[in-house]
Structure 1
Amino acid sequence: MRIALLSPLPPEQTGIADYAEHFRSALTALGVEVFTPLHGVSAAGRLAQLAGFDWSQVQLVHAELGGGRLAEFEALDWLRQHQPQLPLTATVHDPERLVWRRARLPWPLSWLERLPRPFPQISALLADPLTLFEERRLARHLSRAVTLTQTGARCLSARMGLAQGQAVAIAHGNLSLEPAALATLDPLRLLYFGFIYRGKGIEDLLSALAQVFQRHPALRGHLRLTLAGGTAPEMAFGPAGNYLDELRDLARQLNLPDCLDWQLDLPADAIAATIQAHHVMVLPYRESKKLGLLGAMRGTSGALSWANACGRGVITSNARAFAEEVSSGNGSTFEQGDIGALADAIEALALHPERATEWAERATAIGLERRWPNVAARFLDVFQSVCRENR
């Protein structure tokens, strides 16, 4: 089978690029020939590449949609118009919408974009009916829209008006890793893992940990937190200032430096060992209030996939579709943005550390089910089904 993949790929530093690279490798191992016609093509050359590529050599086009990117959405929409016979599928990483915003706003809204806040936000809201119309038009043209959770599939279907069976849930794939036993539970080691930038709730995590120590001073020295992951410059060092310095200042104010470790810009080959050196991952994500005006984001997280692959439980907020991801005994959830509730969850684990072992056992089983060869086989079944339908 031959397919075209429209997606970011490494060395781009995004979770979707990493996902797509594992996806491509796993499909290739199953004998699928994967073309990447837009990889390395500049925005200026994208239209010419779409027009010049020989689409007859592929049986299906699959795209990765999400992460604020628009190139893949625009490419699919071009194919909808210029190659209508070609089956199109996509993994929608941020349901209940496909892309949430337009690349270019019509005049006079484009003029508002150039004004100070809040006018750009107002212009996006005013343009949203047009954005939603274009998303629904493309979504209904897709042979299959794949989401990473059942929650995401339900929400995407409802918002996009999809036909029954058009949305399919296939869990986030994870690497095939050797299990590693938990280290001794004293000290109990917590890990935040992921890209480190504003909006991930990391400040909430630091504040919650400080609350736990205020309630139980004896836990100091028996409970540690590591902040690990990437620090993409455009996100960690943006116009709002140096976010890493802000986190370090907050940690000092909360008297946490002696309980806090940093592993920034973690190399890819060190991720698994780092996660398995800890007992539980903590993901305190908050949903964007700005996006909340446009809909409900019901995606999941690559970090959760890593936790399963490494056989580690998770304490996570109930943002996105995270509650579904830890609903089978591999972790616990708390109300997003509720620092006290997060402190309660950490405290409960610290006082009953055997839960980390129970969660790890269940996460290991989930990780085995979701190894990339298994996930790629499910995608291949979907692709073959779509091709049979389009004969």
Structure 2
Amino acid sequence: MSYSALRAGGVPYGSPGAAWRDRGLCAVGGDQIRVAMIHGPAPADLDGVSDYVERLMHALGDVGVATASVPVRGDGSTAGWLTATLRAAREVWRLRPDVVHVQFAPSAYRFSGLPGLLPPLLPPYAPLVTTLHEYGWWAAPTWVPDAVWRPLERARLWDRETGRLVPASRAVVVTNGGHARQVGLRTRGRPIEVPLAPNVADHGGPAPDGLGPERTGEVLAFFGFVHPVKGIRYLLEAVARLRAGRPSLRLLVIGGFTSQALPEAEAGAFRAELEALAEGLGVADAVTFTGHLPAAAVSEALHAADVGVLPFTGGVTAKSGALLTMLAHGLPTAITVPDEPGPSALDGAVAVIPARRDAAAIAGALERLLDDAALRRRLAGAGRRVSAGHSWSGVAAAHRELYDSLVGSAYGRRHA
């Protein structure tokens, strides 16, 4: 399928209604809106954005939005990503959606800039929405200086990270204030902020076998994909410091190593490195690397913990689904913060680790939490209140409102 044919709509549609039903979706009709959801190829258990997309699509079904998954499956080569981008555009034309929604993170497309060419390939009658899951730190190509990007972004001709996606979108969605500010600075536009929701529901129940069957000591918990930027090296060093005075202390590292950002071979090497570090620090018997767990087992493991800890090397914000999950479980949690955190809904709901990449700072924050039951209760209550404002039903309702505002009377004419 050629570029010109796509723009001209030269795509064999077949029956659009049947195309949606073939995906196991409810029949289109009534006041439903149809959204083609374009996203990266990784499965949900290997990628946080894919997990978000899966949960969002499920939640949208409860508010009258029928969704179709349109993955962009590149093979790592330039030709492969170009073919994947063209194929995704062709599928959108075939589906005849009311709205096209692109979920964007550079890691989701293995840092290929080619999905940024999608907008001119898409049907012009369907408003384009782009959600930015990562923003403000990347460019494609990386060697172009800022002075070249700035006028292009201000004129809404090109965006250094998303190509034509941000400039051509009728609406840009962000999950946090930091990304909103960055988009505003670059484009003078006003993105729509729709905060994340916890990525694991509270299932309650006891800890699963092997994750804390003996409540003879205190338990710390880390949750999320395990990656070098998550600060686990420093956390292991902090555990070694704490164990000197708390010999029964344990750490659960809950989450898989293999991810879109850390392929299998690199993930295996990183896990071996951390296990060797734990052995060298003399805490191997106190640390459990669970690997990827089903949602119910994650919930049970979090309930087995006394204190949560997220010592990310870049800091943690409310855009972390892992943090929201820990707060939703009433787990008092210590986090590192970004260089310029600014006002945050997390104020008073988390304990702050005063320095990043610093085992002593992590150990000090955790010791204060472990020693102060009243502080733990206060943080647990505040964390639950914060997480209560982050629900998938709320995320879905905000998206439905956005889609309604974009489709408007054109939607009514199409479905009359």
Which range, TM-score by smaller chain? 0.7 to 0.9
Q: Secondary structure of 1:28's match?
A: helix
TM-score (norm 2): 0.73
Other-structure match for 1:155: 182
Contact kept? 1:224, 1:259, Cα under 8 Å: yes
Residue by residue over 1:286-316, the C-alpha shift from the partner in whole angstroms, topping out at 9 and shown as x without a partner, is 139xxxxxxxx98832211321332323211
Specify the code of the residue in structure 1 equivalent to 2:223.
F
Structure 2 distance, partners of 1:319, 1:95, is 15
Structure 2 distance, partners of 1:178, 1:321, is 35
Other-structure match for 2:278: 251
Other-structure match for 1:125: 143
Deviation at residue 197 of structure 1 after TM alignment? 2.7
* Range 274-283 or range 41-50, more displaced: 41-50
Q: 1:310 aligns with which of 306, 316, 329?
A: 329
Specify the code of the residue in structure 2 equivalent to 1:177.
D
Q: 2:128 aligns with which of 70, 82, 88?
A: 88
Specify the code of the residue in structure 1 equivalent to 2:192.
V
Other-structure match for 1:177: 202
Specify the code of the residue in structure 2 equivalent to 1:244.
R
Other-structure match for 1:63: 102
**Which of the pair has more CA radius of gyration?**
2
Deviation at residue 27 of structure 1 after TM alignment? 0.3
Deviation at residue 381 of structure 1 after TM alignment? 1.2
1:226-305 → structure 2 map (5 Å cutoff)? 226-232=252-258, 235=262, 238=265, 242-287=269-314, 300-305=319-324
Q: 1:58 to 1:278 in 2, by over 3 A?
A: same
Q: 1:51 to 1:131 in 2, by over 3 A?
A: farther
Q: Secondary structure of 2:118's match?
A: helix
Contact kept? 1:205, 1:284, Cα under 8 Å: yes
Other-structure match for 1:382: 402
Greater RCO between the two (CA within 8 Å, min separation 6)? 1
Q: Which runs of 5+ in 2 are unaligned?
A: 1-32, 76-80, 153-157, 412-416
Structure 2 distance, partners of 1:298, 1:276, is 22
Deviation at residue 229 of structure 1 after TM alignment? 0.7
Contact kept? 1:192, 1:227, Cα under 8 Å: yes
CA RMSD of aligned residues (A): 3.5
Contact kept? 2:205, 2:303, Cα under 8 Å: yes
Other-structure match for 2:369: 349
TM-score (norm 1): 0.77
Q: Secondary structure of 1:285's match?
A: coil
Contact kept? 1:276, 1:310, Cα under 8 Å: yes
Q: Secondary structure of 2:60's match?
A: helix
Structure 2 distance, partners of 1:130, 1:84, is 29
Deviation at residue 2 of structure 1 after TM alignment? 0.9
Q: Secondary structure of 1:37's match?
A: strand
Specify the code of the residue in structure 2 equivalent to 1:90.
T
Q: 1:178 to 1:245 in 2, by over 3 A?
A: closer
Deviation at residue 5 of structure 1 after TM alignment? 0.5
1:10 aligns with 2:10: no
Other-structure match for 1:360: 380
Percent identical: 22
Q: 2:237 aligns with which of 183, 187, 207?
A: 207
Contact kept? 1:196, 1:236, Cα under 8 Å: no
* Range 54-63 or range 16-25, more displaced: 54-63
Residue by residue over 1:315-339, the C-alpha shift from the partner in whole angstroms, topping out at 9 and shown as x without a partner, is 1111388783632424434332233
1:92-131 → structure 2 map (5 Å cutoff)? 92-96=132-136, 100-102=138-140, 124-126=142-144
Number of matched residues? 354
* Range 276-285 or range 34-43, more displaced: 34-43
Structure 2 distance, partners of 1:186, 1:353, is 17
Specify the code of the residue in structure 2 equivalent to 1:311.
G
Q: Which runs of 5+ in 1 are unaligned?
A: 106-123, 289-296
Structure 1 distance, partners of 2:259, 2:35, is 34
* Range 334-343 or range 69-78, more displaced: 69-78
Other-structure match for 1:111: none
Structure 1 distance, partners of 2:341, 2:263, is 24
Residue by residue over 1:233-263, the C-alpha shift from the partner in whole angstroms, topping out at 9 and shown as x without a partner, is 7827546972112112211222212332221
1:334 aligns with 2:357: no
Deviation at residue 135 of structure 1 after TM alignment? 1.7
1:31 aligns with 2:64: yes
Specify the code of the residue in structure 2 equivalent to 1:227.
V
Deviation at residue 51 of structure 1 after TM alignment? 3.0
